[in-house]
Amino acid sequence: MSKTNQYSKIGIRPIIDGRLGGVRESLEDTTMNMAKNVAKFFMEELRYPDGSPVECIISDSCIGGVKEAADCAQKFKRENVGVSLSVTPCWCYGTETMDMDPLIPKAIWGFNGTERPGAVYLAATLAGHNQKGLPSFGIYGRDVQEMGDENIPKDVQNKLLGFAKAGLAVSLMREKSYLAIGTVSMGIAGSEIQSDFFQSYLGMRNEFVDSSEVMRRIKHGIYDKEEFQKALTWTKENCAEGKDFNKEDKQRSREQKDKDWEFVVKMTLIIRDLMEGNPKLAKMGYGEEALGHNAIVSGFQGQRQWTDFLPNGDFSEAILNSSFDWNGIRKPYIVATENDSLNGISMLFNHLLTNTAQIFADVRTYWSPEAVVEVTGWKPEGEAKNGFIHLINSGSATLDGTGRQTSKGKPAMKPFWEISEEEKKDCLDVTTWYPANVGYFRGGGYSSNFLTNGGMPVTMCRLNLTKGLGPTLQIAEGWTINLPEKVYTILDERTDRTWPTTWFVPNVTGEGAFTDVYSVMNNWGSNHGAISYGHIGHDLITLAAMLRIPVNMHNVDDSKIFRPTAWNSFGMDREGSDYRACENYGPIYGKR
Ligand SMILES: C[C@H](O)[C@@H](O)[C@@H](O)C(=O)CO
Ligand SMILES: [Mn+2]
């Protein structure tokens, strides 16, 4: 792997009382062991998006004062540290030892012993962080432990993981690109790329290519021809074509449809190459194209200039977003349909926190129980009894979203390294590729259709921009549900039967935006949502705080919310203090 592609590491800073002549010496082993222990814990628990274990770097020595703090900072720079955790079992000198790097998410774990005052250091140093405008997370276990106890209590583990996952997400997206292929799709504001937001809040760059670049590569054969043959064969074997629902006089000929298959497979290779590059292209004499755009996420405009006369991006988007293709089971690429960059970033947040593939969907319809009875004659019951939301869009929903993988016997969407060949096959088998609705997509193509299995815990999020306020994040945890088949058929056929459907019921609280299922739909900030496996709202909240993005709507239990300690200075009402803190600090990369 080339140097620029190396993932950033977690840096661990063992902090010690600097008084030599007895005190420091008595603490050296305990302190360094605390660092080693936590590094081991992270390496066992956390993985990078490619499945490799997260790497940790420990300061060469314990840090008792500013010289050792500076040496550690140098080492962290050399080693590409993106997240920093200070650990200590004792009293040490706060501002003399603290991590002063303003760009790196940071936390301190102050050991709850009592022989030595680790918690006093924690409080003193957090006060220093607050005073100096360098927000830090504080981790303090609930129960007193024996000095030298190497066991990390569960509450501390949860905070360590929450902090590290979000911190890694911050560092993994930094210096990467969002690649826009095309421009604004059908007046969707999210596809009007706001590069200042990307630069200031995410540390990301925006790359832009005209859709004609995809056409040029198809015309000039700028893709790996061998891979294309392999991909086409695989597609024919694994992607079943569905019935053509277009009016007969509008249907594309068999010959045209066969050509469309070739076209969409080529598009898939090309969009991937545009994102990440491909050394094979250099061998073909296309050195510039071989480099790609360093994109961790992309968006394809499609509608309308492209889809009005060429096959749509649905196949490419769906396959790239999935955890498998003709090369086997692999890391999903994150691709937003309609070039909705704000939903692309929402997918990226979810993906970096979970390493799983993402569903991109229109938040299309709230079905009230009354409307369902009216239309189908069936009275919703059980999990559907208060109504449900229809998530459906052509294009970017991952095929993992079929819910045909399992975890502990229940439907799931897993990191790619946990997916079996059989599970991959099931996801493909329950997906049908219908000839695109030519009313919408005059140039044809193939849309993926599947029905998401019920019973999956999921979180839908969405980043929105509001003029005068800036970005905000909304989060709804809930479940996918099953409906009786006849009900599904009636509701589905009333919409777009060639697209994938997910029935979603958010967890309601009876208050505010979560008063009921209707109010969640009614409070959604745009036409799209990014849906991840798992209840990850708390991790999204931590990530948003690190990025200084306030959360305007969520249904996460208060006890799970973990933000930098400085947020407490902004008041007891958590939503208000989040807004005030984010405004006070402003975007991390804003002044750079
Ligand atoms: C085909 C249609 O234009 C859809 O793409 C449209 O409903 C959307 O997805 C809007 O976000
Ligand atoms: Mn859409």
- Reported as a single tens digit per residue, the pLDDT across 283-312 is 999 999 999 999 999 999 999 999 999 999
Annotated ligand binding at 220? The verdict is no
Residue 368 lies in a domain: yes
Average pLDDT value for residue range 156-169: 98
Q: Are residue 252 and residue 115 in the same domain, yes or no?
A: no
Q: Is the CB of 362 under 6 A from ligand 1?
A: yes
Q: Are residue 146 and residue 233 in the same domain, yes or no?
A: no
Residue (of 64, 44, 72, 52) closest to 5 by Cα position:
52
Residues labelled catalytic: 338, 362
Fill in the DSSP letter of residue 343. Answer: H
Q: Which of 112, 143, 173 is a domain's end point?
A: 173
Predicted local confidence at residue 2, as pLDDT: 42
Q: Are residue 118 and residue 187 in the same domain, yes or no?
A: no
Q: Which of 157, 173, 189 is a domain's end point?
A: 173
CA dihedral 472, 477, 482, 483 (to 10 degrees): -60
Residue 590 lies in a domain: no
Q: How many CB atoms lie within 10 A of CB 20?
A: 9
Residue 190 lies in a domain: yes
CB-based contact 190:341 (threshold 8 Å):
yes
Q: Are residue 118 and residue 265 in the same domain, yes or no?
A: no
Residue ID of nearest Cα to ligand 1 atom 6:
393
- Reported as a single tens digit per residue, the pLDDT across 35-50 is 999 999 999 999 999 9
End-to-end CA distance of the chain: 29
- Reported as a single tens digit per residue, the pLDDT across 183-233 is 999 999 999 999 999 999 999 999 999 999 999 999 999 999 999 999 999
Q: Are residue 132 and residue 189 in the same domain, yes or no?
A: no
Annotated ligand binding at 528? The verdict is yes
Q: Are residue 169 and residue 189 in the same domain, yes or no?
A: no
Residue 501 lies in a domain: yes
Coil/strand/helix, residue 474: strand
- Reported as a single tens digit per residue, the pLDDT across 311-359 is 999 999 999 999 999 999 999 999 999 999 999 999 999 999 999 999 9
Q: Does the pLDDT of residue 458 top 50, yes or no?
A: yes
Pairing label, strands 81-88, 9-14: parallel
Q: Are residue 94 and residue 163 in the same domain, yes or no?
A: yes
Q: Are residue 79 and residue 92 in the same domain, yes or no?
A: yes
CATH number, position 59: 3.40.50.1070
Burial of 408 (0-12, 13-18, 19+ CB in 10 A): exposed
Near ion ligand 2, which residues have CB within 5 Å? 362, 393
Residue 592's pLDDT band, with cuts at 50, 70 and 90, is low
Placement of tokens 């790609």 in the chain: 292
Tokens of 37: 């222990």
- C-alpha 38 – ligand 1 centre gap (Å): 47
pTM for the predicted model, two decimal places: 0.98
Predicted local confidence at residue 1, as pLDDT: 37
Q: Are residue 313 and residue 455 in the same domain, yes or no?
A: yes
CATH number, position 469: 3.20.14.10
- Say how many domains are in the chain: 2
Residue 116's pLDDT band, with cuts at 50, 70 and 90, is confident
Residue 592 lies in a domain: no
Cα 21 to chain centroid, rounded: 50
Tokens of 379: 């009275």
Q: Are residue 204 and residue 86 in the same domain, yes or no?
A: no
- C-alpha 319 – ligand 1 centre gap (Å): 19
- Reported as a single tens digit per residue, the pLDDT across 260-276 is 999 999 999 999 999 99
Nearest atom of ligand 1 to the alpha carbon of 395: 5
Tokens of 201: 């809040």
Q: Hey, what amino acid is at 503?
A: W
Residue 507 lies in a domain: yes
Q: Which of 158, 173, 188 is a domain's end point?
A: 173
Residue 226 lies in a domain: yes
User: Looking at this predicted complex, what is its ipTM?
Assistant: 0.97
Q: Are residue 250 and residue 378 in the same domain, yes or no?
A: yes
Q: Which domain holds residue 121?
A: 3-173
Q: Is the CB of 527 under 6 A from ligand 1?
A: yes
Q: Are residue 163 and residue 216 in the same domain, yes or no?
A: no
From residue 230, give the alpha-carbon distance in Å to each of 219, 237, 374. 19, 11, 49
The rounded percent of the chain whose pLDDT value lies above 70 is: 99
Nearest atom of ligand 1 to the alpha carbon of 188: 11
Residue 591 lies in a domain: no
Residue 4's pLDDT band, with cuts at 50, 70 and 90, is very low
Q: Does the pLDDT of residue 114 top 90, yes or no?
A: no
